[in-house]
Structure 1
C-alpha cells in the first residue's frame, strides 16, 4: 500500500494528509493527534482544500501541505492546548494560507523562468 511518504505531494489525497497530520503532530508535540470534529469531518475539510476524485480542490495538495507546515512551524503548545488540528489551523491560523499561496506561486514562477532560460540557451546572450 502506498502512503504519503512514498509518493509526491501532488498525488496526496485526504487520507495521505490525515496520516501526515497525525505523524507530524506526534513527532513535533509528542501527543496523539485529535482531528477537528472527528476524522470524517476533517476529511471533508481537507477534501474541500485538496480535492477529491470527483471534484477539484480549492487550493490543491502543494498549497495545503505548505499551509500545514507553516502552521506547525508557528504553533507553540501550551498546557491547555498541547496540539493542533487542521480545523484549528483553518480557523485560527488562516493568515498562513496567503503566505503558502505566495511562496508556491513564487517558486513556480522561478521554475518557469529557469525552464525558459534553458530553452533559450546561454549562447543567446
Structure 2
C-alpha cells in the first residue's frame, strides 16, 4: 500500500493528508488527532483545498501542506486545547494561508526571473 511518506506531496490526496495530520499531531502534541465534525466532513474540506479525481482543488497539495505545517508550528497546546484539526486551522488561521500563498508567489517570481540565467560561472 502506498502512503503519503512514499509519494511526492504534489500527488497527495485527502487520505494522505488525513494520515499526515494524524501522524504529525501525535508526534507534535502526543495526543490522538480528532477531526472537526468527523473524518468524512474533514475529507470534504481537504478535497476542496487539495482537489479530487473529478475536480481540481482551490489551492493544491503543496500550498495545503505548507499551510498545515505553518499552523502546527504556530500552535501552542494547552490543557484545555491539547491539539488542533484541519477544520480549526481553516477556520481560525486564514492569515497563515495568506502567508503561504504570498511565499509561493514570491518563489515562483524568483524562479521565473532566474529562468535561463547561466550560473555556471558562480
Please classify the TM superposition score into its range, dividing by the shorter chain length.
Answer: over 0.9
Structure 1: runs of 5+ lacking an equivalent: none
Could you tell me which residue of structure 2 aligns to residue 59 of structure 1? 59
CA distance in 2, matches of 1:17, 1:112: 29
* 2-structure distance, mates of 1:23, 1:111: 32
Q: Distance in 2 between matches of 1:50 and 1:110?
A: 24
Measure, in 1, the Cα distance between the counterparts of 2:5 and 2:112.
26
Shift of 1:26: 0.4
CA distance in 1, matches of 2:12, 2:112: 23
Deviation at 1:109, TM superposition (A): 2.2
Q: Tell me, what secondary structure is at the counterpart of 2:70?
A: helix
Give me the whole-angstrom Cα distance separating, in 2, the residues matched to 1:112 and 1:22: 36
Q: How far did residue 20 of structure 1 move?
A: 0.5
Aligned ranges for residues 31-70 of structure 1 at < 5 Å? 31-70=31-70
What SS is found at the alignment partner of 1:116? Answer: coil
Unpaired runs of 5+ in structure 2?
none
Q: Which runs of 4+ in 1 moved over 3 A?
A: none
Tell me the distance in 2 between the aligned counterparts of 1:19 and 1:55. Answer: 21
Distance 2:102 2:8 in 1: 21
> CA offset at residue 122 of structure 1?
6.2
- 2:5 is matched with 5
